[in-house]
Amino acid sequence: MSSQKRFNVAVVGSTGAVGEQIIRLLDERNFPLHELKLLSSARSAGKKVRFKEREITIEEATPESFEGIDIALFSAGGDVSRELIPHAVDHGAVCIDNTSAYRMDPDTPLIVPEVNIDKISDHRGIIANPNCSTIQMVAALKPLYDRYGISRIIVSTYQAVSGAGAKAIQEMLRQSKEVLEGREAAPELLPVGSLPVKHQIAFNAIPQIDKFTENGFTYEEMKMINETKKMLDDESLEVTATCVRIPVVYGHSESVYVELKSDFDVEQVKSLLAAAPGIVLQDNLQLQQYPLATEAAGKLDTFVGRVRRDLSNPRGLNLWIVSDNLLKGAAWNAVQIAEYIAIEQH
Amino acid sequence: MSSQKRFNVAVVGSTGAVGEQIIRLLDERNFPLHELKLLSSARSAGKKVRFKEREITIEEATPESFEGIDIALFSAGGDVSRELIPHAVDHGAVCIDNTSAYRMDPDTPLIVPEVNIDKISDHRGIIANPNCSTIQMVAALKPLYDRYGISRIIVSTYQAVSGAGAKAIQEMLRQSKEVLEGREAAPELLPVGSLPVKHQIAFNAIPQIDKFTENGFTYEEMKMINETKKMLDDESLEVTATCVRIPVVYGHSESVYVELKSDFDVEQVKSLLAAAPGIVLQDNLQLQQYPLATEAAGKLDTFVGRVRRDLSNPRGLNLWIVSDNLLKGAAWNAVQIAEYIAIEQH
């Protein structure tokens, strides 16, 4: 790839849980970089980050930071994206946004490469990365959607604390230690940093991720519902979701029930999944093999198992879908999109 | 209650996680006891247990242990129940069995008092306590079943390690400590003690509880499916289940999706739940109030929240159901049955 075009890339949110993984992946994947600009809030500016043989100093992200940037990867929260992305677009950068700011914008393609890479060019400077819990589900369901059609999805999630950022990981580990030592576990951050009520996450399951909307679903649940329909370009698809935080560090697990539109053979479903890009089938009951968060952590793929037909509905199918929420669920999906842009512009 | 009839009660499995809770509840609830006989395997015989002002020595359970016993509560595993219950019945005891041994036996009523107390007298010496994950779900769904009818249930569970016994609690706490100290978490017991493959439960979610059956569902999942149909006496009811172990000590949580047979009003559903015996509605989104395993632990009730209509199906309803798996899910349901027998025979 030595003679290929090289890109000026900016990472916004360089010190966050996702930003760190984006930088690591750009490094490990040998992304064709000309310049790498690491941006953050004023608070983290000045820190140095090791990248290949050099050190890069993090700079404060401002509207002017994007001059000369070809690709900008945003994961610093919705407000930062809303504020800075228009400037980055004005400067000619293609922005890959990991926040929810532009996901439902009709002019912004919402991309999981395994699902709808054909839409990648339909952008006006912004490509949105879907929500972590949505990415892995849609990546796993796409081959089934294409082959059989899907009429409805009922999903319950088992989401890792890293989805709420590095501070949430620290809180969960601290609380775990407190409980093990027989002390009171002091909740300070979760379930939602900006809301007043706090609940213990250590040795618990919290059925709230993000704020509640007026219909009784959380924003996280509405993201799964709306983003899935947008990505599959199917408003008739019935989706319902219950999103739950559990004491896992990395890796979201999902219990997914789907109703297919046509008859299926379970072994054929497994073959389709095993052959699908980015999907690894882990489904050997004899060996007690199924996806596990601890094993998916650090890996780029989405793992699927517990594939079985509903005993009461011949078109009902149960699946257990696991992926690293910071990787395929965020950083890797974003870098994957950047790689497609790089290939396209080569 | 001083002049009431008093009963000779035996507890089989006195040193187990459930047995201990049964003994505590018989004490706290001032069950009308004449004699309390504590039974266990030979290994635990000789241990002493404090009960009110006295000490009771645990005896080895044998076929002759049940002479003169009125009520015997079994929670020492299916094999012990299958071996000893016929002898206890021969001795005239009414056996309340907390194992799966007799649950699907057509001559054995499967009782959750809030659901089908009318069936309690239909026994031939054995009354079965349902599976923990089934009890709390059916207790919460019964008022909705009676009012609206239910055509299908799709449940995903978040089950506490105490459901696998005291050793599983120890394993989970030990592994948690190992991970927090940066060591390898050594899995020795879970997911299933008698199976060869072991998985880490600390900071993980394991989609296997009990062994797999030939249809790809686990026995735990099949219990939820079959016991729910039996208790609601409805073979046409469609049930599918995914049972998952998570790192929680006490309290099973369940994400339950139901399709009702008739139209419903969400506020009326909440009112029905709030008024139902043994059910506590915890559903105030403004206050971020919903059931939590850590808060349900140690309590006798079943807690229900996150009550909301499926946005895509007007007869679809989502619920989050939590209860202490050792109490309503086992010991308390068994003692409750014993209390009804005591009242009946008074």
Give per-residue pLDDT as tens, A46-96.
Answer: 999 999 989 999 999 999 999 999 999 999 999 999 999 999 999 999 999
A226–chain B Cβ distance below 8 A for any pair:
no
**Cβ contacts (< 8 Å) between A320 and chain B: which residues?**
207, 242
Among the partner-chain residues B195, B205, B294, the one whose CB lies closest to the CB of A293 is B205
Nearest chain B residue to A236 by CA distance is B312
- Mean pLDDT for all residues in chain B: 97
- pLDDT for A1 equals 45
Kindly determine whether residue B240 and residue A312, on different chains, have CB atoms separated by under 8 Å.
Answer: yes
Question: Is the confidence metric ipTM above 0.95 for this complex?
Answer: yes
Residue A18, marked binder? yes
Any idea how long chain B is?
346
Kindly determine whether residue B308 and residue A203, on different chains, have CB atoms separated by under 8 Å.
Answer: no
How many other β-carbons are positioned within 10 Å of the β-carbon of residue A180?
Answer: 16
Measured between CA atoms, how close is B322 to chain A, in angstroms?
A: 10
Kindly determine whether residue A205 and residue B246, on different chains, have CB atoms separated by under 8 Å.
Answer: yes
**Hey, what amino acid is at B300?**
L
- pLDDT for B253 equals 99
Kindly determine whether residue A305 and residue B212, on different chains, have CB atoms separated by under 8 Å.
Answer: no
- pLDDT for B1 equals 45
Tell me: the pLDDT tens digits for B233-244? Answer: 999 999 999 999
Kindly determine whether residue B242 and residue A255, on different chains, have CB atoms separated by under 8 Å.
Answer: yes
Residue B15, marked binder? yes
What span, in angstroms and rounded, lies between the C-alpha atoms of A269 and A276?
11
Contacts of A332 (CB under 8 A, 6+ apart): A21, A25, A300, A324
Among the partner-chain residues A156, A288, A289, the one whose CB lies closest to the CB of B156 is A156
* Separation in Å, CA B5 to CA A201, B122, B161: 47, 22, 38
Query: If you write DSSP's letter for every residue of A281-338 in order, what string do you get?
Result: E--BTTTTB---HHHHTT-SSEEEEEEEE-SS-TTEEEEEEEE-TTIIIIIHHHHHHH
Residue B75, marked binder? no
Q: Are strands B316-323 and A48-51 parallel, antiparallel or unpaired?
A: unpaired
**Cβ contacts (< 8 Å) between B313 and chain A: which residues?**
152, 238, 240
Instruction: Give CA angle at B303 (B108, B130), nearest 5°.
Output: 15
Q: Phi/psi zone of residue B23: left (φ > 0), alpha (ψ -120 to 50 degrees), beta?
A: alpha
Residue B59 has which token pair?
């005896």
Please report where in the chains the tokens 């990867």 appear, as a residue. Answer: A73
Which residue out of A226, A312, A313, A323 would a mutagenesis test of the B interface target, given it has the greatest number of B Cβ atoms within 10 Å?
Answer: A312
Nearest chain A residue to B209 by CA distance is A288
What span, in angstroms and rounded, lies between the C-alpha atoms of A290 and B243?
13
Where does chain A show beta strands of DSSP type E?
7-12, 33-40, 48-51, 54-57, 59-60, 71-74, 94-97, 126-128, 150-158, 238-242, 252-260, 279-281, 302-309, 316-323
Which residues sit opposite A36 in a β-bridge?
A9
Share of chain A above pLDDT 90, in %: 97
Please report where in the chains the tokens 């989502």 appear, as a residue. Answer: B318
Nearest chain B residue to A310 by CA distance is B240
Any idea how long chain A is?
346
Residue B192, marked binder? no
Is the pLDDT assigned to residue A146 strictly greater than 90? yes
Instruction: Give CA angle at A136 (A133, A140), nearest 5°.
Output: 140
- Distance from chain centroid for Cα B7: 24
Residue A10 has which token pair?
């900016």
- Distance from chain centroid for Cα A174: 25
Contacts of B123 (CB under 8 A, 6+ apart): B94, B107, B108, B109
**What band does A299 get if pLDDT is binned at 50, 70 and 90?**
very high
Residue A288, marked binder? no
**What band does B251 get if pLDDT is binned at 50, 70 and 90?**
very high
Q: CATH 3.40.50.720 region(s) of chain A?
A: 7-130+330-344
- pLDDT for A306 equals 98
What span, in angstroms and rounded, lies between the C-alpha atoms of A161 and A188?
14
Query: How many residue pairs from chains A and B have C-beta atoms closer than 8 A?
Result: 167
- Find the mean pLDDT for residues B198-226: 98
Q: For A78, which DSSP code?
A: H
Q: CATH 3.30.360.10 region(s) of chain A?
A: 134-325
**Cβ contacts (< 8 Å) between B318 and chain A: which residues?**
240, 242
How many other β-carbons are positioned within 10 Å of the β-carbon of residue B116?
Answer: 18
B203–chain A Cβ distance below 8 A for any pair:
yes
Measured between CA atoms, how close is B252 to chain A, in angstroms?
A: 9
Kindly determine whether residue B180 and residue A203, on different chains, have CB atoms separated by under 8 Å.
Answer: no
Q: In what order do the strands lie in the sheet with B279-281?
A: B238-242, B150-158, B252-260, B316-323, B302-309, B279-281
> Mind telling me the catalytic residues of A?
132, 252
- Distance from chain centroid for Cα B338: 15
Q: CATH: 3.90.180.10, 3.30.360.10, 2.40.30.10, 3.90.650.10. Which one for A134-325?
A: 3.30.360.10
Domain A7-130+330-344 has CATH 3.40.50.2300: no
Is the pLDDT assigned to residue A116 strictly greater than 90? yes
Query: Nearest 5°: phi and psi at B112?
Result: -120, 115
Residue B308, marked binder? no
Tell me: the pLDDT tens digits for B132-158? Answer: 999 999 999 999 999 999 999 999 999
Kindly determine whether residue A249 and residue B305, on different chains, have CB atoms separated by under 8 Å.
Answer: no
Tell me: the pLDDT tens digits for B50-85? Answer: 999 899 999 999 999 999 999 999 999 999 999 999
Residue pair B304/B291 in contact by the 8 Å Cβ criterion = yes
Query: Nearest 5°: phi and psi at A317?
Result: -135, 130
